Amino acid sequence: MTDALNEAKARFGAIDVLEYSPAPHSPVPGLTPAVPSEVTVDNLQPMIDYNVYGAITAAQAVLPAMREADAGALLFSTGGGSVDPVPMFGNVISDERR
């Protein structure tokens, strides 16, 4: 992630807007789908790693330059599961609603 953002900065210049919306890929490493009543710390952790820690990494890569320029925007979004939930992905949807 950091390497890709650094390459984008080198090629295009300053990053004015970061829109972080991780596209789901199959499979998310370590993810075992679980209905809401079966969500555990262990089966939720892969989605936290994927969505939350990725967002933090991306923000840390661009935020210093945005602060220095006193300009920029960070946008974070997630999948449609928060609007149209799929019960067998209870551990995915619970992460999206945080």
In our burial notation (b when 16+ CB lie closer than 10 A, e otherwise), range 49-82 reads ebbeeebeebeebbeeebeeeeebeeeeebbebe
**Tell me, what DSSP letter sits at residue 1?**
-
Predicted confidence band of residue 98 (pLDDT cuts 50, 70, 90): very low
Q: Which residues contact 37 (CB under 8 A, 6 or more apart)?
A: 90
Nearest-Å Rg of the Cα atoms of the chain is 16
All domains of the chain, ordered by start, with CATH? 2-96 (3.40.50.720)
Residue 86 CA to residue 24 CA, distance in Å, equals 14
pLDDT, one tens digit per residue, over 25-79 is 666 777 888 888 888 999 888 888 888 888 999 999 999 999 999 999 998 877 6
